[in-house]
Amino acid sequence: MTYATLIGPAALATLIADDAVVVIDCQFDLADPAAGEARYRAGHVPGARYFHLDGDLAGPPDGSNGRHPLPDPVLLAARLRAAGLCRGEQVVAYDGSGGAFAARLWWLLRWLGHEAVAVLDGGLPAWVAAGLPVESGEAPAAASGDFDVGASHDDMIVDTAAVLANLRAPRFLVVDARTAARFRGEPNPLDPVAGHIPGASNRFYGDNLDAAGRFRPAAELKAAFANVLGGLSPDEVVLQCGSGVTACHNALAMAVAGLPGARLYPGSWSEWIADPRRPVA
């Protein structure tokens, strides 16, 4: 069985026992970039490898391309091979933040043409709550896999020029995954310029989760996104956030809801505001 959106702790434990999965720990803290790896070393799903948001799941920012630009596909593929990933092999990503960072790897792998990737629903807290074991330290080196970049999926993204053109002649709806306060333009240390892209709608990614930090049921998510989309199909939607990370959480939630196909604006708000000539609402 292939898992392409979410997986529960018991099913993941079975895959680990069968040696049929590559597990990637994506724990991260935007306020303390070293904290995620420290948490990984303190305790992680057995056999999991650690991928750092800044170093592995993003390319270098240059002041104009947002805080977390997309990584070089060739470099990311090499990193995945080093983690032991083979073509077609199941990947499970997790974090300790309701999937906020694991969803980035889920999206990136699909961008690279790899469909067998899922996010551990509830993350490490759900794994621990299920009474399953954790390891500390670093996992032993894996035998190199044969994973490589698949067919181009650049149709999954839009650039700033496309978003600007959309202001003049609307062809898609931009959906912002940041908090309602940041969307409204209330001051926030992450946003040097407050506000949002004109015409955008807001769907805070945290609303995809229940009180336990697990994704809400598919039917509930479908109804919630239907309210945001207002009758538009997913291929008429572009997802963004502050830097292209939590927008992937909305992409995953839409896939869980049976609404795949929305595109990502990778640079998101942090790229948009890099040029003061771009309008802000």
Mark whether 26 is an active-site residue. no
Select the CATH number that applies to the domain covering 6-129 from these four: 3.40.250.10, 3.30.70.260, 3.30.160.160, 2.60.40.10: 3.40.250.10
Q: 237-240 and 263-264: which strand pairing?
A: parallel
Name the active-site residue from 26, 86, 241, 248: 241
The reply to whether 6-129 and 157-272 are identical in fold is: yes
Q: 201-202 and 173-176: which strand pairing?
A: parallel
Fold of 157-272: Oxidized Rhodanese; domain 1 (3.40.250)
Domain coordinates in residue numbering, the chain: 6-129, 157-272
The whole-angstrom separation of Cα 126 and Cα 121 is 7
Q: Is the pTM of this model over 0.75?
A: yes
Which tokens is 56 given?
């592995």
- Residue 105 CA to its chain's centroid (Å): 6
Q: Model confidence over 62-106: pLDDT tens digits? A: 999 999 999 999 999 999 999 999 999 999 999 999 999 999 999
Q: Model confidence over 3-23: pLDDT tens digits? A: 999 999 999 999 999 999 999
Q: Model confidence over 250-279: pLDDT tens digits? A: 999 999 999 999 999 999 999 999 999 999
Is residue 152 pLDDT above 70, yes or no?
Answer: no
Which DSSP state fits 218? H
The whole-angstrom separation of Cα 35 and Cα 41 is 10
